[in-house]
Amino acid sequence: MTMDEKYVESIWTLLKNAIQEIQKKNNSGLSFEELYRNAYTMVLHKHGERLYTGLKEVVREDVLKALYNNFLQTLNQAWNDHQTSMVMIRDILMYMDRVYVQQNDVDNVYNLGLIIFRDQVSELLILF
């Protein structure tokens, strides 16, 4: 049984919006159980790569946006916010970590977030 691509995109859009709300510290209205179920469904139906790739893009965009503001003051706050967000994001993508990440020998969600943060800070420092 395969999932319709439109359905996959609708689930991804829901998860992307939730991840962005978490990054904005606006997560009180989110149902982590529902988000977890949706992430589980994507991975279960062989769409873990779409979820993982989308996560990389959303996290990268958030890190860059945060870093472009008052750099030194923002770096510490961006780091703290990023860590908090990644813990919550890791929780809703736990199934992807256990299945897709292990099967494909890629970084787990939390480590991916750390790597992206490091790489984006490094790239930004090169520009200065």
pLDDT at position 125:
80
pLDDT at position 1:
53
pLDDT at position 119:
94
Domain boundaries defined on the chain: 1-45, 64-127
* CATH node for 64-127: 1.20.1310.10
pLDDT at position 33:
97
Tell me if 50 sits within 8 A of 38, measured CB to CB.
no
Angle ∠(3,60,93) on CA atoms, nearest 5? 40
pLDDT at position 75:
84
Alpha-carbon gap, residue 122 to 34, rounded angstroms: 35
pLDDT at position 28:
92
Alpha-carbon gap, residue 33 to 101, rounded angstroms: 21
pLDDT at position 69:
66
> Mean pLDDT, consecutive 10-residue segments, the chain of 128 residues?
84 98 94 97 96 97 80 84 96 97 97 95 81
